[in-house]
Chain A
Amino acid sequence: MKKIADKTVRWVLTASGFVTSVVILLIIGFLFTEGAGLFGEKVIEEGYVLAVNKDNPVRVLDAAQIKAVFDEDMTNWKEAGGPDLPIETFRLEDMDEYFTEEQLGPQYENAGTLITSLVASSPGMVAFVPESMIPDDARLVFIEDCNISPEEVFAGTEWYPTATPAPLFGILPLLAGTLWVSFFAILIALPFGISIAVYMSEVASERVRGFLKPVIELLNGIPSVVYGFFGLIIIVPLLQQVFGLPVGESGLAGSIVLAIMALPTIVTVADDAMRNCPGALREGSLALGATRWQTVARVVIPSSMSGIASGVVLGIGRAIGETMAVLMVTGNAAVVPHSILEPLRTIPATIAAELGEAPAGGAHYQSLFLLGVILFFITFFINLCVEYISSRNRAKNS
């Protein structure tokens, strides 16, 4: 009886040991199936077609070209490899410019035929209309609707997830924004973090340490929304004045907020690493006549380097994944940033801000899950780095 109980307990404990692994697999599974669905979606909005005159030889337009055409940035078919013919665009909203109420009929039942004949009679026109509106016998040709391609997504520099007729899902600006803002956050947090860790572990008295430690913990405990709120009201206007910027919401504001948020992680891990530095090393150095500072700089820091490094990498991980604070202070402009003083947009902020409005199951929704996958793998990679650094550290110490 006792044995059975022991066995059951053992089994339950083993099972719970694997819960985290299962969760990771589930995360990958769910995010991936949703995210990968993006590449099965069509470029042109669901249920719609782009109809052109049958004499128009252009059959293929990519999403960026479609956007340019409908934004009237591309105005001649020869730019898309067609004849020298001005492009005219037609959307359903333009209906009343071409037809009268009587022509359309009370329920717009004539709309399909009218649009068909309009496109058939104007050689340079491209019409964005619901597929169901076009009668079967219409003598029109449609622009070929291909699947969203990975190049467009991973190498695209334009993020227009809600553009019609064809949304653009170029993730480069978001990726660049995320890495850029995290990089500067670490650049700011690093000197502070290491100094504080050194001060706490090597210089401060036990009493000062006893005061600093909870302060750092508390800094870690303040909710990110509070940081965002603080950043928006204090840091953003401050930066605007100090740097004379036209706009205060910038990567730098995000980096500063993130630096404060990543600091506790760096300090805690680096502090632990330095305190674990063997006493004999320290005493040896002091016995040779080195000052405490020399000991710290030449002995303690180098010997705890890998601990410090893993603290820094963990801090980067924290900064990359941070959502709410960044959402409130970086301005969220989806452009590839050229300087840290410009507004930029990060992946987590994009997910948090857009998931709510994206129609469930559509291309936009899936693209946000794809961003989730990318974010997951970035942090996964970072954690593997930490693991590698600390395992090297263990090997060295033993």
Chain B
Amino acid sequence: MAAPVFPKGYNIKKRRSQALAFGMFRILSISIVLILFAILGFIIYKGAGVLDWDFLTEAPSDGMTAGGIMPAIVGTLLLMAGSAAVAFPVGIMSGIYMNEYASKTGWTVRFIRLMTNNLSGVPSIVFGLFGMALFVKYLGFGDSILAGSLTLGLLSLPLVIRTTEEALKDIPDGIREGSLALGATRLQTIWKVVLPMGMPRIITGLILSLGRVSGETAPILFTCAAYFFPQLPTSVFDQCMALPYHLYVISTSGTDIEAQQPIAYGTALVLIIIVLIINILAGMLRKWFERRLKIK
């Protein structure tokens, strides 16, 4: 039997088609990077001019044409904290239940996972409708930080659950068994062994979920956001300003668009910087935890 005879140049042809395909992929990938930089560059170029200390520390003035966006920054941070207070404990506990308690093949886990996935697919505007119907109207919280935080908390819940679950899933069963064999209860095992080991990934996941919360507009549109509230809120029943809503409002509905445009860009820039900081922070934390874990 003779070896298969390839026509002359077959190899070159193969390589050429590979080079063509990979080249195309590379170009498309580069174009995405370019799109990102176009968006970022555009906003930095237009927004960097207004970004200074006063912009970050003052309330808006002169009919939103001057001053800063401090209340909106504080509001966004408050909403992030509020939604974290709602989503983190419930989400982490739910993740622990899914991975440590419930039987992995049972219908409960499959049902909960299905529901969690469905919840993560619910559009943010539907969360807004729901938050308005339940928290604002039915429970009578009114437009408030409380209602906004609860709505945003529920929105980020699936992400928190999934992160926790994934983090715990990667911990080898041998470790759990070892702990149990030493006489520790299940709770002790989870608290002292499993959770600390899963922490690095859980924390980075949590931080990323905060990033998502910081940019949401639709859920707070009807549950929390104030157009103008120069004082800082004093209780959870106050409304607050928020960066994404502020950006939406001043880029579409001011009377003096020319004077407000730079503020809109500045707000967008601050919002992106917050997201950027969150991403970088998550990356650094992940690295730091990984290193610490290795040393141990």
Q: Which residues of A contact B (CB under 8 A)?
A: 2, 5-6, 9-10, 12-14, 16-21, 23-24, 26-27, 30-31, 34, 191-192, 195-196, 198-200, 203-204, 212, 214-219, 221-230, 232, 234, 260, 263, 291-294, 296-297, 314, 317, 320-324, 328, 348, 351-352, 355-356, 360, 368-369, 372, 375-376, 379-380, 382-384, 386-387
Contacts and interface: CB of A to CB of B under 8 A. Distances in A.
Contact of A223 (B133, B185, B215): B215
A282 to B, nearest CB: 15
Contacts of A292: 18, 22
Nearest to B269: A226
B268 A229 contact: yes
Contacts of B116: 20
Contacts of A26: 130, 134
A221 B14 contact: no
Contacts of B137: 360
Contact of A20 (B119, B264, B272): B119
B126 interface: yes
User: Closest 7 interchain pairs by CB?
Assistant: A321-B123, A223-B215, A293-B18, A199-B25, A17-B97, A16-B93, A13-B97
B53 interface: no
A23 B121 contact: no
Main secondary structure of the interface of B (DSSP, over half): helix
B42 A230 contact: yes
Contacts of A214: 279, 283
A219 to B, nearest CB: 5
Nearest to A325: B217
A138 B54 CA distance: 69
15 contacts: A16-B94, A20-B158, A24-B118, A27-B130, A195-B24, A196-B32, A199-B29, A200-B29, A223-B271, A225-B215, A225-B268, A324-B244, A348-B218, A352-B128, A376-B126
Contacts of A294: 14, 18
A359 B175 CA distance: 59
A396 B100 CA distance: 26
Contact of B123 (A34, A218, A360, A379): A379
B293 interface: no
B278 A221 contact: yes
Contacts of B252: 328
Contacts of A355: 129, 132, 221-222
A380 B116 CA distance: 11
